[in-house]
Structure 1
Amino acid sequence: MAHETAGYRLSCELRAHEDDVRGICICGDSGFATSSRDKTVRFWAPNPDKKHQYVLSKTLAGHSSFVGPLAWIPPGDRFPEGGIVSGGMDTLILMWDLGKGEVVETMKGHQFQVTGLAVDDNGDVISSSIDCTIRRWRKGHAIEFWEAHKVAVQAVIKLPSGELVTGSSDSTLKLWRGRTCLHTFMGHTDTVRGLAVLPGLGILSASHDCSIKLWALTGQVLMEMTGHSSLVYSVDAHSSGLVASGSEDCFLKLWKDGVCIQSIEHPGCVWDAKFLENGDIITACSDGTVRIWTLDNDRICDPQELEAYGVELSLYKSSRKKVGGLKLTDLPGLEALQVPGTTDGQTKVIREGDNGVAYSWNSREHRWDKIGEVVDGPGDSTTNQFLDGVRYDYVFNVDIGDGEPLRKLPYNLGGNQFYHFCFF
């Protein structure tokens, strides 16, 4: 690339989502799509009036809860302008005709949140879920499914050779040919959250153990990248050999040959990061903003925008986001889910990215089940609230998804983060 700077700089900010931007999908040269906790998918097309800029082209609303993974269907006879597949916390997978902006297939079958999507060469959709399964869908129907891991499957990707790779909360990756597991990759010490292919070299994995690993298909660890100070949610690779990762620590990190060559701070958790073909990087942030970063001087935003971004960072660091009136930093992290509960129905609210998530202990299955995300509501920041005639320090609104109304979760301050509750 000509006119390169010493590192990536901000190119543009895209604001339309009303909550966390959770996922990114590169849609060939047509543009890209983003998913959000605001229950929408948004498609961004190149701006015809401003080179290397993007404009909001379509808003796809159909999910009843936050949307996560996305997959692209290239243009063809069925979708002349391409299609998008989206998966949500509402357990649904929706297939969209991008040209019409309409849902053409609704795939129902998963029991819990959909975490990963891939599209096979024959048009089949492959999905992963918190329900531990992988499902293959054809014309809107599940034609096969299997338990891929004993605990939640967090990601699935398709290799150029056709095999699948899954990442799980059991800290492993698995390589699949059909429903046959060819190999289990062991090396991470916590949840494997994100996966990507590094062309010609192997598979990249992002983990809650704060590391990124590069694996050969034989299961050998070829490289480990450490530098993030918190959970790593996403990883992607460019044909140049650059690797990008996004983390709860609010940084996008760029890696070359296993070495971190740049860290870019964000005003929130970086849920996802994807390379465009030209080497620019798109980031999805918990502040609801999509950002594009570039090496090319010709695509850097103007000085006023750079200055405004610096102010935004300062404001964010001085006042971290609150969850239901509580400081996010006061909530325990995902590592708290490693500690078993003591009684059935015992619950806790933990920090996941820039959100608080309520979990309930399932003594029969010996696991923490996700109930829903804590959301701010009227009066959430006021202490000594009442619910059903009882005084509590806080009363959280909890989004349990599936189109259900918000439920109330009472909470009292104290050294013990664990408590019992009833939904109201």
Structure 2
Amino acid sequence: MEAEFGKYRLNCELRGHEGDARGICICGDAGIATSSRDRTVRFWSQNPDKKHKYMLSKIMLGHTSFVGPLAWITPNERFPEGGLVSGGMDTNVLLWDLKTGENVQTMKGHQLQVTGLTIDANGDIVSSSVDCTIRCWRNGHAVEFWEAHKAAVQAVINLPSGELVTGSSDSTLKLWRGKSCLHTFVGHTDTVRGLAVMPGLGILSASHDGSIRLWALTGQVLMEMVGHTSIVYSVDSHISGLIVSGSEDCFAKIWKDGVCVQSIEHPGCVWDVKFLENGDIVTACSDGVVRIWTVHDDRIADSLELESYDSQLSHYKFSRKRVGGLKLEDLPGLEALQIPGANDGQTKIVREGDNGVAYSWNSREQKWDKIGEVVDGPDDNMNRAVLDGVQYDYVFDVDIGDGEPIRKLPYNRSDNPYDTADKWLLKENLPLSYRQQIVEFILQNTGQRNFTLDTSFRDPYTGSSAYIPGEPSIASGVSTKPVFKHIPKKGMLYFDMAQFDGILKKIAEFNNALLSDLGQNSLALTDFELSKVEAVVKILKDTSHYHCSKFADDDIGLLMKLLKSWPHAMIFPVIDILRMIILHPDGASLLLVHVQDENDALMEMIKRVTMLPALPANLLTSIRALTNLFKHSCFYQWLQMHRTE
């Protein structure tokens, strides 16, 4: 059906993912499949009661890290309702039966993240990877593989004529017939991230250089579309001639005859875009929501949904607003002025409405005196580097070798270099093994060699904190300034940080090990129980709602069961969840019931972890959990009672 062009407006939102929505796959008339950083693939069927609306019908669990590319297998004898293929950061390619939602095959072979998937003319699965290779899979086995580029392969598509096209971090596209390269397309100046077929014309490519290009199969550039202000991750076309692109700049842009005719703003990065056959557009956003947009008046969302979306956009923009170089959302409210200053003249900036206001502590009158509203001075933004329309203290040119183009790495001195490295590697689709090198590069080039990290939290998953694996290695011969700490320390130190993703990953790993052990598979968690553990962690992550969020009593009971039944060497991630539950008001109250019973669960745990041979991971997590008990007065009696044990 040809889509008339009009202004696209919101049709509906597909909510359910708990992390960035990364990939979209249109599965004919059956529905829409989506992938996410939450490690799931979700399938949305058309709502029989609401035409052109969709509802969640299946959640497919199988990947152990975030999921990206998807490909649809049309209905056949093996899959009467069609199949689905997914690829992820875990390097695996998974095959799903859409009728049951079950994983029927896992294909292993890639060494690094799987970035692209397509189904070729023979019905074989074709995958691309950061490991620079293309693999063809048949009946679960790789029947062909070859090095397609000297740098990471970021995308692969199948042409109606049967050839393959790949896009790479080396900034080129390649046209393949079998393993033979027919042509190399040169023109982009940075990574080629997304590909699509333009019916009757050629190939569309989306690039980190901010452009979209239309290529003839001979390699000639037919059209270049420039309008995004940041990385373009994805592109798709419709038979009507419309093109849609998704970008890091938070916009999905619609193009007609090479001209941008509409920009749809999103509350986050737009990772993927796809056209439905009827001309509607599907977008996957970093806020975890998949949205459908339409030009047809009878499909547009109602006024409440439209107002809600406008509110989401406003909130997102507010969260990014800065005053005087400070992020407005991060400023404390007026309640911060209830805390006395430490010394005369101490300044504090608080949020008042949409403004940041500075106050000074008056020690004589014991009150905060208002100084005035904080604004950007005329020199605040001078000499600052600009990337994608945003100012930074530094923008580095990073040469990662392997024949890849120079990458731009932005950094502010107030940023955590580990967070910066993680986000940059994810955005650039680079291996996480580069992390420490990137951090050291930042520290050396910003003069922050004396950068110190809070190492009070170290976990047994990485030997470090959630986002900081330890102090960075410092170049030899560089002396660091001593850091003096006041003694005695005022206040109580609690262990209130957790590497939740690492905890869940470790529990899943141990659970899989139990499932594969015939002697212990009865101890393994069911899918339902595993989902309950994930639900507990979701509550613990949302610290802003600790005052009102609640656990079910059987949530605590499930954790207690694991502490008692799981093998000694596998319980430390469970103890770590317990450590965080203790800090949650409702969690502490429910846990108290278990320590007041005749069977004191905490004492049983302590006795178990101290049994010889005692494992360091168990001891470490247990000591931290016990320390957190001091946060709540309801545990004081228990601590006093067992102080000598």
TM-score (norm 1): 0.82
- Gap change, CA 1:368 and 1:301, over 3 Å in 2: same
In the alignment, does 2:456 pair up with 1:386? yes
**Is the 8 Å Cα contact of residues 84 and 98 (structure 2) preserved in structure 1?**
yes
State the distance in 2 between where 1:187 and 1:401 align.
44
Q: Counterpart in 1 of 2:285?
A: 285
State the distance in 2 between where 1:296 and 1:335 align.
45
State the distance in 1 between where 2:90 and 2:393 align.
25
Q: Counterpart in 2 of 1:206?
A: 206
The alpha carbon displacement at 1:146 in A equals 0.3
Deviation sequence 1:94-128 (CA, Å, 0-9, x none): 00011111111110000000000011232210000
The alpha carbon displacement at 1:192 in A equals 0.2
Residue identity opposite 1:76 in structure 2? N
Pick the aligned partner of 2:421 from 326, 349, 363. 349
Deviation sequence 1:160-192 (CA, Å, 0-9, x none): 000000000000000000000000000000000
What percent of counterpart residues are identical? 65
State the distance in 1 between where 2:502 and 2:154 align.
19
Higher relative contact order (CA 8 A, sep 6+): 1
Residue identity opposite 2:299 in structure 1? R
State the distance in 1 between where 2:393 and 2:44 align.
35
- Gap change, CA 1:361 and 1:275, over 3 Å in 2: closer
**Is the 8 Å Cα contact of residues 422 and 435 (structure 2) preserved in structure 1?**
no
**Is the 8 Å Cα contact of residues 421 and 435 (structure 2) preserved in structure 1?**
no
The alpha carbon displacement at 1:74 in A equals 0.7
The alpha carbon displacement at 1:351 in A equals 3.5
Residue identity opposite 1:131 in structure 2? D
- Gap change, CA 1:403 and 1:120, over 3 Å in 2: farther
In the alignment, does 2:216 pair up with 1:144? no
**Structure 2: gaps (5+ residues):** 322-328, 332-389, 401-405, 410-416, 440-452, 470-498, 509-619, 621-645
Q: Which has the higher strand share?
A: 1
The alpha carbon displacement at 1:391 in A equals 12
Report SS of the residue matched to 1:349. helix
**Is the 8 Å Cα contact of residues 154 and 194 (structure 2) preserved in structure 1?**
yes
State the distance in 2 between where 1:401 and 1:221 align.
48
The alpha carbon displacement at 1:300 in A equals 0.3
Deviation sequence 1:298-350 (CA, Å, 0-9, x none): 000011111111111010111149xxx99999798896463699xxxx98615
Residue identity opposite 1:45 in structure 2? S
The alpha carbon displacement at 1:136 in A equals 0.5
In the alignment, does 2:238 pair up with 1:238? yes
TM-score (norm 2): 0.55
State the distance in 2 between where 1:50 and 1:171 align.
44
Alignment of 1:338-417 (within 5 A): 338=406, 349=421, 351-352=423-424, 359-361=432-434, 384=454, 386-387=456-457, 395=468, 397=499, 403=505
Q: Which has the higher helix share?
A: 2
Deviation sequence 1:222-270 (CA, Å, 0-9, x none): 0000000000000000000000000000000000010000000000000
Residue identity opposite 2:193 in structure 1? R
- Gap change, CA 1:224 and 1:280, over 3 Å in 2: same
The alpha carbon displacement at 1:71 in A equals 0.3
- Gap change, CA 1:395 and 1:350, over 3 Å in 2: closer
- Gap change, CA 1:58 and 1:259, over 3 Å in 2: same
- Gap change, CA 1:26 and 1:152, over 3 Å in 2: same
**Is the 8 Å Cα contact of residues 87 and 116 (structure 2) preserved in structure 1?**
yes
CA-atom RMSD, angstroms? Answer: 3.7
**Structure 1: gaps (5+ residues):** 370-382, 407-423
Deviation sequence 1:344-363 (CA, Å, 0-9, x none): xx986154599798855599
Q: Counterpart in 1 of 2:251?
A: 251
Report SS of the residue matched to 2:34. strand
The alpha carbon displacement at 1:5 in A equals 7.8
**Is the 8 Å Cα contact of residues 149 and 170 (structure 2) preserved in structure 1?**
yes
